[in-house]
């Protein structure tokens, strides 16, 4: 039987190599009010006074400098397609740049209003910007949120209601809702279709940042503490930290499982990483006076900028690699969620419909295709392993499936090094963590409950290596699967 101490030791070893700092970018001569990573994970943009610095994340080199603003830049955002970067400045303009060429596409300015925040809608069709100055409106003298068409530069509308400058903006995942925070210590939730104010949330002191969870249900705000609100009703649901902790900026991982916040209080100055499921701090990252944080859209990296230029001569931007175990948990969570919805659908529809045999046959064929793996991914594994199961050596191609070591989470996980070619029944045991591979010896391990079955003879079987070294299974991926295997066996122990 697997001992619990082995699983604990393995967990400690895995956690020790997490959150590796892969880049440190110095020479920022002002507070780094904004950082953003492109969807492909290859480029980072950071604010440096009146300029935007564009960094190549593969080489770590400064690629280009965007320098058309006449005053300090307070916010930046990258469009969902990764082609455009928007910046808001004290010079009272919003500028749109071609991220590939560095050329200025357009300058947006309705009136002399300093811009403190910019945000793209999820479909990239709206750019929202928040101003500082008060103007007459139906609600009295208020500050303004401007809604622009980023392709044409046309002003699409304005939202007025805050009484002081607007600090931060966030769209809901479906693009129908916009949330705004202000120095007036309120959060406002807007319906973008009707341009109507839905809720004003007034229980958060010095609210600085806001975000909406990927499922579109919860609004999270930061300031003195971190608060959770029901996006539909505006009801306060929970407070993660008390008022003694000031959180200047935060970011939610794309899977909604992790929150990273820039903390400033009497006991800690840096970055804390929270598990949103448990409400626990799972890690801390060192960057004094952090003022901006952002996950990459694919969730694989975290970038943060500091406000230390006046103390140390230059502010810093750091980029960390998100630990492999968090990515694995993310994909597993999504996999289990999708699996649950499929099970409910099957139960609702029934297992057998004699009146629609053709539809049932189509659904079965679709299920087989999905199970065998995305076509290109499967073809690469068939070629790499000479159309043989890496454990049983079965060569019946129709029975072989492309197994993800780390569960499928979009095209990035379809790399052959995250795959094994397995016979269908072995694939099932592998996904259920009843069978795994010892990462030290690359030999098969099985759950105690399988020892006295026909699968017992597989114990100790060495993994068949691929023909090409480039397709060698990822050691990190194998370690994560083995860790989950150990945890599952421990859960069976009394």
**CATH no. for residue 75?**
2.130.10.10
The predicted pLDDT at position 138 comes to 84
Same domain, 191 and 109: yes
Q: Which residue's entry shows tokens 């199961």?
A: 389
What does the angle CA 85 – CA 120 – CA 273 come to, to the nearest 5 degrees?
90
Span 224-233, average pLDDT? 90
Domain boundary among 283, 306, 322: 322
Report the chain's mean pLDDT, rounded to a whole number: 83
Q: Is the pLDDT of residue 330 over 60?
A: no
**Strands 435-438 vs 419-423: parallel, antiparallel or unpaired:** unpaired
Distance CA 312, CA 314 (A): 6
Please check whether residue 7 lies inside any domain of the structure.
Answer: no
The predicted pLDDT at position 305 comes to 93
Same domain, 68 and 49: yes
Span 435-444, average pLDDT? 92
Token pair in block for residue 481 = 């699967």
Percent of the chain residues past pLDDT 90, beyond the cut:
53
Span 253-270, average pLDDT? 82
The predicted pLDDT at position 159 comes to 97
**Tens digits of per-residue pLDDT, 396-406?**
988 899 888 88
Domain boundary among 273, 298, 322: 322
The predicted pLDDT at position 471 comes to 79
**Tens digits of per-residue pLDDT, 198-227?**
999 987 777 789 999 998 999 999 988 889
Token pair in block for residue 345 = 């659908």
Q: How many CB atoms lie within 10 A of CB 129?
A: 27
Per the structure, the count of domains in the chain is 2
pLDDT tier for residue 365 given thresholds of 50, 70 and 90: very low
Same domain, 315 and 370: no
pTM of the model: 0.67
Q: Which domain holds residue 345?
A: 328-492
What does the angle CA 299 – CA 303 – CA 308 come to, to the nearest 5 degrees?
160
Span 286-296, average pLDDT? 91
Please check whether residue 5 lies inside any domain of the structure.
Answer: no
Same domain, 203 and 258: yes
The predicted pLDDT at position 323 comes to 84
* CB contact set of 80 (below 8 Å; sequence gap of 6+): 39, 120, 122, 123, 124, 297
Same domain, 52 and 128: yes
Please check whether residue 440 lies inside any domain of the structure.
Answer: yes
Please check whether residue 6 lies inside any domain of the structure.
Answer: no
pLDDT tier for residue 13 given thresholds of 50, 70 and 90: very low
Same domain, 311 and 345: no
Q: Which of these, 486, 365, 368, 362, lies nearest to 427 by C-alpha position?
A: 368
The predicted pLDDT at position 324 comes to 64
Distance CA 179, CA 209 (A): 10
Same domain, 287 and 342: no
Same domain, 223 and 102: yes
pLDDT tier for residue 267 given thresholds of 50, 70 and 90: low
Same domain, 387 and 314: no
Q: Which residue's entry shows tokens 């139906």?
A: 138
**Tens digits of per-residue pLDDT, 31-60?**
999 999 999 899 999 999 999 999 999 899
Distance CA 53, CA 30 (A): 12
Q: Is the pLDDT of residue 82 over 80?
A: yes
Same domain, 366 and 288: no
Q: Which of these, 490, 484, 493, 491, lies nearest to 14 by C-alpha position?
A: 484
Span 413-430, average pLDDT? 85
Same domain, 285 and 379: no
Please check whether residue 197 lies inside any domain of the structure.
Answer: yes
Q: Which of 134-143, 173-182, 335-344, 373-382 has the lowest mean pLDDT?
A: 335-344
The predicted pLDDT at position 329 comes to 57
Please check whether residue 10 lies inside any domain of the structure.
Answer: no
Please check whether residue 1 lies inside any domain of the structure.
Answer: no
Please check whether residue 208 lies inside any domain of the structure.
Answer: yes
The residues facing 239 across adjacent strands are 227
**Tens digits of per-residue pLDDT, 451-491?**
889 998 999 999 988 887 777 898 888 998 999 899 888 76
Distance CA 277, CA 340 (A): 18
Q: Which of these, 222, 163, 157, 223, lies nearest to 196 by C-alpha position?
A: 157
Q: Which of these, 416, 417, 430, 431, lies nearest to 461 by C-alpha position?
A: 430
pLDDT tier for residue 281 given thresholds of 50, 70 and 90: confident
Percent of the chain residues past pLDDT 70, beyond the cut:
81
Same domain, 312 and 409: no
The predicted pLDDT at position 88 comes to 97
Distance CA 70, CA 56 (A): 25
pLDDT tier for residue 370 given thresholds of 50, 70 and 90: very low
pLDDT tier for residue 258 given thresholds of 50, 70 and 90: very high
Domain boundary among 277, 303, 322: 322
């Amino acid at each position: 039987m697997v001992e619990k101490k082995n699983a604990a030791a393995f967990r400690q070893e895995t956690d020790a190599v997490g959150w590796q700092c892969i880049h440190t970018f110095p020479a920022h001569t002002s507070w780094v009010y904004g950082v953003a990573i492109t969807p492909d994970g290859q480029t980072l943009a950071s604010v440096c006074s009146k300029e935007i610095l564009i960094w190549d994340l593969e080489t770590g080199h400064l690629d280009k400098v965007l320098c058309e603003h006449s005053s300090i830049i307070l916010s930046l955002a990258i469009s969902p397609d990764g082609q455009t970067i928007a910046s808001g400045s004290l010079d009272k303009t919003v500028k749109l740049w071609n991220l590939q060429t560095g050329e200025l596409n357009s300058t947006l300015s309705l009136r002399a209003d300093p811009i403190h925040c910019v945000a793209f809608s999820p479909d990239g069709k709206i750019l929202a910007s928040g101003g500082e100055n008060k103007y007459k409106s139906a609600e009295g003298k208020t500050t303004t949120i401007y809604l622009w068409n980023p392709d044409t530069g046309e002003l699409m509308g304005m939202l007025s209601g805050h009484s002081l400058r607007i600090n931060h903006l966030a769209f809901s995942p479906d693009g129908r809702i916009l949330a705004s925070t202000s120095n007036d210590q309120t959060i406002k939730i807007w319906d973008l279709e009707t341009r109507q104010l839905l809720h004003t949330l007034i229980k958060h002191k010095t609210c600085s940042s806001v975000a909406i969870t990927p499922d579109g249900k919860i609004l999270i705000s930061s300031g003195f503490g971190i608060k959770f609100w029901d996006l539909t009703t505006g009801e306060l649901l929970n407070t993660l930290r008390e008022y003694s902790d000031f959180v200047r900026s935060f970011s939610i991982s794309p899977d909604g499982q992790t929150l990273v916040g820039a903390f400033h209080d009497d006991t800690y100055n840096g970055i804390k990483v929270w598990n949103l499921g448990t409400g626990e701090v799972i890690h801390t990252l060192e960057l004094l006076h952090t003022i901006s944080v952002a996950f990459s859209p694919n969730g694989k990296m975290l970038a943060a900028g500091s406000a230390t230029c006046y103390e140390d001569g230059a502010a810093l931007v750091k980029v960390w690699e998100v630990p492999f175990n968090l990515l694995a948990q993310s994909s597993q969570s999504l996999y289990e969620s999708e699996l649950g919805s499929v099970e409910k659908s099957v139960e609702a529809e029934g297992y057998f419909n004699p009146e629609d045999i053709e539809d049932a046959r189509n659904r079965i064929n679709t299920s087989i295709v999905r199970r065998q793996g995305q076509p290109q991914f499967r073809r690469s594994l068939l070629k790499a392993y000479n159309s043989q199961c890496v454990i049983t050596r079965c060569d019946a191609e129709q029975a072989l499936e492309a197994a993800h070591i780390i569960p499928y989470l979009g095209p990035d996980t379809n790399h052959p090094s995250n795959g094994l070619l397995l016979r269908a029944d072995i694939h099932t045991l592998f996904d259920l963590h009843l069978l795994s591979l010892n990462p030290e010896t690359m030999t098969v391990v099985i759950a105690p409950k399988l020892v006295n079955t026909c699968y017992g003879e597989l114990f100790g079987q060495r993994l068949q290596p691929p023909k090409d070294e480039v397709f060698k299974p990822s050691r990190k991926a194998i370690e994560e699967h083995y860790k989950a295997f150990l945890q599952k066996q421990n859960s069976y122990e009394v």
